[in-house]
Amino acid sequence: MKWLFSLLLSLLALTAAASAQASAANQVATPVGGRLTEATLYGLPGAANKKLSAYRGKPLIINIWASWCSPCRQEMASLSRLAKRFHGGQFNIIGVSTDDNIEDAAFYAKRARLAFPIYLDSRDFYIEGLLGAKHIPLTVLISADGKVLKKVEGAREWDDPEVVKLIGETFGLKLK
């Protein structure tokens, strides 16, 4: 009887996870040119939650990633260097982890000593769906008033001078 109860709990957990992912997949993604709706960004343990609208007023780069994603990990160092140069100045950078396990995301972020805030996507993968992240990493450049300007799939060297120039052009900023 005990094994049957365990089996039922396991099936319920799998069904809930599949339902959450299906919910995100069915969500209409904000297209390039569209404005993002409000969303809650869930802080890592010990960090506060924040509303997406708290980042309005300056251009924003949102990177959707996961600790198990090799291309995501490859680009994190360059995003961190970019953040050391520009975060809080001419634009902001945040990361949103799609990890199922909060400890995995927190461990990676701490070990990598990232220079930008990391948040967790909700259990229903709302941010992933909102931004249309069918593949990760996905990096989205957003105007100061919340308009999606560009979506970049795949890893990049975000602090490469040519990429920094493209970021500046997208945001209408002179970056050096």
Radius of gyration of the chain (CA): 17
Q: Are 50 and 119 in contact (CB under 8 A)?
A: yes
Amino acid 10: pLDDT: 41
Amino acid 6: pLDDT: 42
Share of the chain above pLDDT 90, in %: 73
Distances (CA, A) of 91 to 5, 45, 78: 51, 25, 16
Amino acid 7: pLDDT: 36
Q: Which long-range contacts (CB under 8 A, 24 or more apart) does 22-27 make?
A: 23/124, 23/125, 23/129, 24/124, 24/125, 24/126, 24/128, 24/129, 25/129, 26/129, 27/126, 27/129, 27/130
CA distance 128 to 74: 20
Amino acid 129: pLDDT: 92
What is the Cβ-side half-sphere exposure of residue 121, based on CA atoms within 13 angstroms?
A: 25
Domains in the chain (CATH in brackets) are 2-171 (3.40.30.10)
Query: What is the residue type of 85?
Result: R
- pTM of the entire predicted model: 0.83
Amino acid 2: pLDDT: 52
Amino acid 123: pLDDT: 74
Q: Which residue positions in the chain have pLDDT lower than 50?
A: 3-25
Amino acid 26: pLDDT: 53
Amino acid 27: pLDDT: 62
Amino acid 176: pLDDT: 74
